[in-house]
Amino acid sequence: MNAIEKLEYGRTYHIYNRGINSTNLFLCQRNYEHFLELYAKYIHPIADTYAWVLLKNHFHLLVRIKEEEDMPYLSLPTDLSDCVAADSVNENNMNGTLTGSIERCQVGSCQAKKANPTRQFSHLFNGYARYFNLKTNRHGALFERPFKRIKVDNEKYFCRLVNYIHYNPVKHGLADHILHWGWSSYLSIISVKPTRVSREMVLGYFDNRANFIAYHQQQSDLRDIENLLLE
Residues 151-173 have pLDDT tens digits of 999 999 999 999 999 999 999 99
Residue type, position 188, single letter: S
Residue 206 exposure: Cα atoms within 13 Å on the Cβ side: 22
What pLDDT score does 155 carry? 94
Higher model confidence: residue 152 or residue 112? 152
Cβ atoms of residues 59 and 185 within 8 Å: no
Burial class (CB in 10 A: 0-12, 13-18, 19+), 179: middle
Q: With both helix axes pointing from N to C terminus, report the angle between 209-217 and 155-171 in degrees, rounded to the nearest 10.
A: 60
What pLDDT score does 51 carry? 98
Q: What is the pLDDT confidence band of residue 112, given thresholds at 50, 70 and 90?
A: confident
What pLDDT score does 219 carry? 65
What pLDDT score does 220 carry? 65
What pLDDT score does 148 carry? 93
Residues forming beta bridges with residue 143, ordered by sequence position: 19
Q: pLDDT tens across 22-61, in order? A: 999 999 999 999 999 999 999 999 999 999 999 999 999 9
Write the CB contacts of 119 (distance below 8 Å, at least 6 apart in sequence): 87, 89, 91
Q: How far apart are CA 157 and CA 125, in angstroms?
A: 26
What pLDDT score does 76 carry? 58
What pLDDT score does 2 carry? 43
What pLDDT score does 49 carry? 98
What pLDDT score does 222 carry? 65
Q: pLDDT tens across 121-151, in order? A: 999 999 999 999 999 999 999 999 999 999 9
CA angle 133, 46, 145 (to 5 degrees): 40
Span 205-209, mean pLDDT?
96
What fold is seen in the domain 12-67+138-226? Answer: Alpha-Beta Plaits (3.30.70)
Burial class (CB in 10 A: 0-12, 13-18, 19+), 120: buried
What pLDDT score does 53 carry? 98
Q: pLDDT tens across 63-110, in order? A: 999 999 999 998 755 443 333 333 333 333 333 333 333 334 444 455
